[in-house]
Amino acid sequence: MRKSRDHSGCTRRMLWATCAFALLACASASFSPANAQDGLARIKREGVMRVANSGVYPPFESMEAGELVGFDIDLSNLIAQELGVRADIQVIDFKGLLPALKSGKADLLISGFTYTAERAQQVAFSKPYYPNAMTVVVRESAPNITSKEGLAGKRIGVEMGTTGDREARSVPGAEVKAYDTLMLAMKDLQNNRVDAVISNLPPVRYLINRNFKDLKVTHRYNEGHIAIAMRLEDRALVDAIDHALDKLKAGGQLRELEIRWFGDASK
């Protein structure tokens, strides 16, 4: 009998241990920072908004004299002020931005991040805060080229390996000259070594404003927009960020940032 009771007690203890382990395993599997349902509540509670940023996409973000500066840096701090918290901006390589967000290392991606339908399946996007598009750039003194097709047979400068590079190579009869940087491509356009440059709108505006007043954008296509990315489940945070962007736009701060970092948006 003793043996039978001991066996029964052992069985019960093993059963309880098994159940407890299973519950713990399920809890561990279901809990992660990325599954937290209210990122906004955590931000408010801790007083810190964790922002991931690539640090290498001027004028949105870049290092100058050892300091991280740019449109997105100023925007991050303005949004944090609207939420009544501090922005903790972490520089992360671009390919690591989405993993950082999903793992909970960051609450938001504010890094010149362009909205795409594919990305929208993985993250939630805020309202747009800056336009994006492919652009055709020419000299002020040159005839306007008002379409991508108008570049047929022309000399086109591009930054090597970019979307602009791929776009230029699809133009019939074009002579494509690829450069290590967009700055070099724009310089050769200025010096009449190429007839046009194809690149994304934000860096083009930045370089025209800072270095190439004698160049201009004559055509924009594949229009899109840049927005802030958050986790899909953080709906309260998305709403709060949208509200902050609305206030910054209505108050003129977004326009001030645009003028500071991009100059005349009509260029």
SS3 track for 16-33: HHHHHHHHHHHHHHHCCH
Residues 178 and 245 reside in one and the same domain: no
The neighbouring-strand residues paired with 199 are 135
Cβ count within 10 A of residue 66:
5
Asked if residue 111 lies in contact with residue 57, where contact means CB atoms within 8 angstroms, the answer is: yes
Give Cα separations from 239 to 91, 106, 114, 212, 234 (angstroms): 25, 17, 19, 39, 9
- Quick check: 200 and 127 in contact, CB under 8 A? no
Residue 167 falls inside a structural domain: yes
pTM above 0.85, yes or no: no
Quote the pLDDT of residue 30: 34
Same domain, 49 and 122: yes
Return averaged pLDDT per consecutive 10 residues of the chain, 267 residues in all.
40 40 37 56 97 92 93 98 98 92 96 91 97 96 90 96 92 96 96 96 92 94 96 96 98 95 66
123 lies in the same domain as 142:
no
State both tokens at 88.
Answer: 């903790």
Three-class secondary structure of residue 155 per DSSP: strand
pLDDT of residue 226: 96
| H-run or E-run covering 34 | none
What is the predicted pLDDT for the residue at 264? 64
User: H or E stretch including 192?
Assistant: none
**CA 171, 207, 91 angle in degrees (round to 5)?**
100
Both tokens of 188, joined, read 């050769």
pLDDT tens readout for residues 76-128: 999 999 999 999 999 998 889 999 999 999 999 999 998 989 999 999 999 99
3-class DSSP assignment, residue 65: coil
> What total of structural domains would you count in the chain?
2
Q: Which domain holds residue 232?
A: 34-129+227-262
Report the interhelical angle of 182-190 vs 201-210 (nearest 10°): 60
Residues 116 and 141 in one domain: no
